[in-house]
């Protein structure tokens, strides 16, 4: 079968909208264009009904008790902001301490940093080499002042899945709220807000084959009832938690995408895992010094984050330009710093510079996996042949013993 180029293997960044989702969205752009907040006519009622149906579908995916627990936002960045700032503000008389991890998304980390400037105290937990938070560390960090723990379900770079259920037991025992940025993991790995005692969860449509620009925040309504201070003032939409006219077509698409995930996510995960392992095994059996970053066991099925030692990530991406992937290399970031997530694993900056993230998804094929692995193997060999580090390694020189002249 002929391969169509370019190949998209960056499903952690975003996903294409599933045609079934588009189909369901279309009528809501013109035919059924009403404002879901219009209570006085049929246009509004139709829109509201569609929005509530989406709430139900999304609620089911994460096992919410009521569709009223789903608050729509513009995306996960907003959800994370509202969850953390909203809770911090509401519970400020109860305490001022928040616990999170160093590998969270910037939408969580930078929100926490802002709160620190306002006088809150934030503990940033480290992770092990496996890229996971140790629940014991959470336990040790909890104080009488702790109001919120925010730990992601799955990491966006290395795909490691966090022990949310264990953490949820601890937070529930201590009466501390648990927020989880569940963007990357929902529908792909088990996530059940009841079983895991999650009180707030951020999710977004475009990581699960829905449209961009629409997200949700799960806010528990009972045992405990979570309160938060709205961060967007206006018409009091979404039970006062998030003002702003709802993106009805987007929300309809989000609902359909959630339903598909609910019905097909598990099966899809099995298929993706098999392809991921095929890719990994091909790369590791044909090339030396290829390292998987983070736990292989506790990992999103579609994620493979590997470092090809002695080869720089951006040069690698340039060499395989017909394949869309991403890298933790400094050269790919505006800050010229290598990935903070990879650094947190303690793998060493040189391996962070050499990392490539392959993200597999719904439309990835076996043929693409074979094409990509052959191409990558060829290009890594080519780049290693022009790498002074590889030559030194081959000559038996310990690269750590060399006195480098940093610039």
Partner 1 sequence: MAYSDKVIDHAENPRNVGTLDKDDPSVGTGLVGAPACGDVMRLQIKVSDDGVIEDAKFKTFGCGSAIASSSLATEWIKGKKVEEAEALKNVDIVNELNLPPVKIHCSVLAEDAIKSAIADYRAKQAAKR
- Give me the active site residues, please: 331
Q: How far, in Å, CA of 267 to CA of 261, rounded?
A: 10
Question: C-beta of 16: minimal distance to partner 1 in Å?
Answer: 23
Phi, psi of 169 (to 5 degrees): -60, -45
In sequence order, what DSSP letters do the residues of 29-98 get, joined into one string? TTTT---TT--SSHHHHHHHHHHHHHHHHHHHHHT-S-GGGEEEESSHHHHHHHHHHHHHHHTTTT--EE
Q: Which residue of 39, 117, 225, 407 would you call a contact of partner 1, by CB under 8 A?
A: 407
Q: Which residue of 350, 365, 371, 375 would you call a contact of partner 1, by CB under 8 A?
A: 350
Is residue 405 close enough to count as binding partner 1 by CB under 8 A? yes
Question: C-beta of 407: minimal distance to partner 1 in Å?
Answer: 6
Tokens of 400: 């750590």
Other CB atoms within 10 A of residue 22 CB: 16
The piece of 55-63, 111-119, 232-240, 306-314 that touches partner 1 (CB under 8 A) is 306-314
Question: C-beta of 390: minimal distance to partner 1 in Å?
Answer: 8
Q: Which is nearer to partner 1, 137 or 314 (CB)?
A: 314
Is residue 388 close enough to count as binding partner 1 by CB under 8 A? yes
Q: How far, in Å, CA of 127 to CA of 385, rounded?
A: 34
Is residue 289 close enough to count as binding partner 1 by CB under 8 A? no
In eight-state DSSP terms, residue 208 is T
Laid out side by side, the sheet with 290-292 consists of 290-292, 303-308, 355-359
Is residue 2 close enough to count as binding partner 1 by CB under 8 A? no
Q: Which residue of 206, 242, 353, 357 would you call a contact of partner 1, by CB under 8 A?
A: 353
Is residue 385 close enough to count as binding partner 1 by CB under 8 A? yes
User: Measured in Å, how far apart are the chain's first and last C-alpha atoms?
Assistant: 48
Cα pseudo-dihedral 190, 195, 201, 204, rounded to 10: 30
Phi, psi of 186 (to 5 degrees): -60, 130
Q: Which residue of 171, 329, 339, 364 would you call a contact of partner 1, by CB under 8 A?
A: 329
Is residue 10 close enough to count as binding partner 1 by CB under 8 A? no
Pairing of strands 290-292, 323-324: unpaired
Question: C-beta of 400: minimal distance to partner 1 in Å?
Answer: 9
Specify the residue for token string 């449209």.
211
Is residue 292 close enough to count as binding partner 1 by CB under 8 A? no
Is residue 336 close enough to count as binding partner 1 by CB under 8 A? yes
Is residue 389 close enough to count as binding partner 1 by CB under 8 A? yes
Q: Which residue of 3, 42, 318, 397 would you call a contact of partner 1, by CB under 8 A?
A: 318
Is residue 312 close enough to count as binding partner 1 by CB under 8 A? yes
Q: How far, in Å, CA of 172 to CA of 305, rounded?
A: 33
The piece of 55-63, 255-263, 277-285, 315-323 that touches partner 1 (CB under 8 A) is 315-323
Q: How far, in Å, CA of 137 to CA of 144, rounded?
A: 16
Residue numbers of the site for partner 1 (CB under 8 A)? 310-315, 318-319, 329-331, 334, 336, 338, 348-350, 353, 385-391, 399, 404-407
């Amino acid at each position: 079968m002929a391969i169509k180029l370019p190949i998209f293997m960056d499903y952690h960044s975003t996903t294409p909208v599933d045609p079934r989702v588009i189909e369901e969205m279309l009528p809501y752009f013109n035919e059924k264009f009403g404002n879901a907040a219009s209570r006085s006519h049929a246009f509004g009622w139709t829109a509201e009904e569609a929005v509530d149906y989406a709430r139900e579908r999304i609620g089911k995916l994460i096992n919410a008790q009521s569709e009223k627990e789903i608050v729509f936002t513009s995306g996960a960045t907003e959800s994370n902001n509202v969850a953390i700032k909203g809770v911090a503000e509401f519970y400020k008389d109860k305490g001022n301490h928040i616990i999170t991890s160093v590998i969270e998304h910037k939408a969580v980390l930078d929100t926490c940093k802002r709160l620190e400037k306002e006088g809150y105290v934030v503990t940033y937990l480290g992770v092990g080499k496996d890229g996971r938070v140790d629940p014991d560390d959470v336990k040790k960090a909890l104080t009488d002042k702790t109001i919120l723990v925010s730990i992601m379900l799955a990491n966006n770079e290395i795909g490691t899945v966090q022990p949310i259920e264990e953490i949820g037991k601890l937070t529930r025992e201590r009466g501390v709220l648990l927020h989880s940025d569940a963007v990357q993991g929902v529908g792909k790995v088990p996530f059940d807000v009841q079983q895991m005692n999650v009180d707030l969860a951020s999710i977004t449509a475009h990581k699960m084959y829905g449209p961009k620009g629409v997200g949700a925040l799960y806010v528990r309504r009972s045992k405990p009832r979570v309160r938060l201070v709205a961060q967007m003032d206006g018409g009091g939409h979404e039970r006062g938690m998030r003002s702003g006219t709802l993106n009805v077509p987007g929300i309809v698409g989000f609902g359909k995408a959630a339903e598909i995930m609910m019905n097909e996510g598990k099966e899809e995960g099995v298929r993706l895992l098999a392809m991921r392992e095929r890719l990994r095994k091909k790369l590791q059996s044909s090339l030396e010094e290829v390292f998987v970053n983070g736990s292989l066991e506790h990992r999103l099925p579609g994620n493979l984050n590997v470092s090809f030692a002695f080869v720089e990530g951006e040069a690698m991406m340039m060499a395989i330009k017909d394949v869309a992937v991403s890298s933790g290399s400094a050269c790919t970031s505006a800050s010229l710093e290598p990935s903070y997530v990879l650094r947190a694993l303690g793998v060493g900056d040189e391996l962070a510079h050499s990392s490539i993230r392959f993200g597999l998804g719904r439309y990835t094929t076996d043929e693409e996996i074979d094409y990509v692995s052959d191409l990558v193997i060829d290009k890594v060999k080519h780049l290693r042949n022009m790498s002074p580090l590889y030559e030194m390694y081959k000559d038996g020189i310990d690269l750590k013993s060399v006195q480098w002249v940093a610039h």
